[in-house]
Amino acid sequence: MARPALQHPTELELKILNILWGRSPLPVREVRQALADEGHDIAHTSVITTLNTMVDKRYLSRENSGNAFLFSPRVTHKSVSRRMLGDVVTRLFGGSSTAALLSIFDSAEIDTGELKELRRLINRKLKDQS
């Protein structure tokens, strides 16, 4: 029996998406080099296979440019992060945003500037809901 397709990008797919969100379109060799620069030296054929899988999953688009294919993201960082965070909140915290945020506060160092920004965002959200 075939394994069901994952609903979220794998760790390697996220690394590739992060590269392409920063600069795209890119050919395979530049994606491979960017991965190597980040300490992930992966065989050229493995990068090609992963990129083509990502096209099949509709995470990327592929455009023929002469002798090379150029790859660009079809999904935004915002859409991927929302989907993945929503899944974590649902599965790990029973759908409670409060429990998720409290866990973040307990496990991460948050500086004063970040706390002020969070307060500003919370105040804006309260105002929008009033």
CATH code of domain 11-73 = 1.10.10.10
Would you say residue 100 has pLDDT above 80? Answer: yes
* Closest listed residue to residue 70, CA positions, set 26, 34, 32: 26
Q: What is the pTM assigned to this prediction?
A: 0.81
3-state secondary structure of 67: coil
94-123: average pLDDT: 91
How confident is the model over 2-53, as pLDDT tens digits?
444 557 999 999 999 999 999 999 999 999 999 999 999 999 999 999 999 9
* Closest listed residue to residue 9, CA positions, set 18, 1, 93: 18
Would you say residue 64 has pLDDT above 80? Answer: yes
Q: What percent of the chain has pLDDT over 90?
A: 82
